[in-house]
Amino acid sequence: MNLNTHEDRDQCLQRALLSLDGLSVGDAFGQSFFFVTPVIADQRLGGRFIPPPPWFFTDDTVMAVAIMHSLHEHEGIVPDWLAGEFAAQYKKEPDRGYGGTAHGILRAIGEGVPWKEAAGRVFYGEGSCGNGGGMRAAPIGAYFADDLQFLISNARDSAKVTHAHEDGQTGAIAVALAAAWMVTQHDPSAPQEHEMIRFVLANLPQTETYWRIKKALTLPLELSPKTAALILGNGSQVISSDTVPFCLWCASRHPNDYAEALWSAVSVYGDMDTNCAIVGSLVSLGTGQDGIPTDWLASREPLNLKFK
State the nearest-atom distance from the C-beta of 189 to Mg ion, in Å. Answer: 35
Q: Please say which residue, 58 or 170, places its beta carbon nearer to Mg ion.
A: 58
State the nearest-atom distance from the C-beta of 274 to Mg ion, in Å. Answer: 5
Applying CB under 5 A, the span of 111-119, 172-180, 273-281, 296-304 interacting with Mg ion comes to 273-281
Q: Does 97 bind Mg ion (CB under 5 A)?
A: yes
The answer for residues whose C-beta is within 8 angstroms of residue 120's C-beta and 6 or more apart is: 127, 164
State the nearest-atom distance from the C-beta of 30 to Mg ion, in Å. Answer: 8
Q: Please say which residue, 97 or 235, places its beta carbon nearer to Mg ion.
A: 97
Q: Please say which residue, 60 or 157, places its beta carbon nearer to Mg ion.
A: 60
State the nearest-atom distance from the C-beta of 60 to Mg ion, in Å. Answer: 4
Identify the residue among 273, 280, 284, 292 touching Mg ion (CB under 5 A). Answer: 273
State the nearest-atom distance from the C-beta of 273 to Mg ion, in Å. Answer: 4
Q: Please say which residue, 59 or 85, places its beta carbon nearer to Mg ion.
A: 59
Q: Does 21 bind Mg ion (CB under 5 A)?
A: no
Contact 203, 184 (CB under 8 A): no
Applying CB under 5 A, the span of 90-98, 119-127, 206-214, 231-239 interacting with Mg ion comes to 90-98
Encoded one letter per residue, x for contact with Mg ion by CB under 5 A and - for no contact, window 49-78 reads: ---------xxx------------------
Residue nearest to Mg ion (CB): 58
Q: Does 24 bind Mg ion (CB under 5 A)?
A: no
What residues numbered 188-217 form the site for Mg ion, per CB under 5 A?
A: none
Q: Please say which residue, 60 or 85, places its beta carbon nearer to Mg ion.
A: 60
Contact 200, 174 (CB under 8 A): yes
State the nearest-atom distance from the C-beta of 81 to Mg ion, in Å. Answer: 22
Q: Please say which residue, 157 or 273, places its beta carbon nearer to Mg ion.
A: 273
SS (H, E, C) the chain: CCCCCHHHHHHHHHHHHHHHHHHHHHHHHHHCCCCCCHHHHHHHHHHCCCCCCCECCCHHHHHHHHHHHHHHHHCCCCHHHHHHHHHHHHHHCCCCCCCHHHHHHHHHHHCCCCHHHHHHCHHHHCCCCECHHHHCCHHHHHHCCCCHHHHHHHHHHHHHCCCCCHHHHHHHHHHHHHHHHHHHCCCCCCCCCCHHHHHHHHCCCCCHHHHHHHHHCCCCCCCCHHHHHHHHCCCCCCEHHHCHHHHHHHHHHCCCCHHHHHHHHHCCCCCHHHHHHHHHHHHHHHHCHHHCCHHHHHHECCCCCCCC
Q: Please say which residue, 235 or 291, places its beta carbon nearer to Mg ion.
A: 235
Residue ranges in contact with Mg ion by CB under 5 A: 58-60, 97, 273
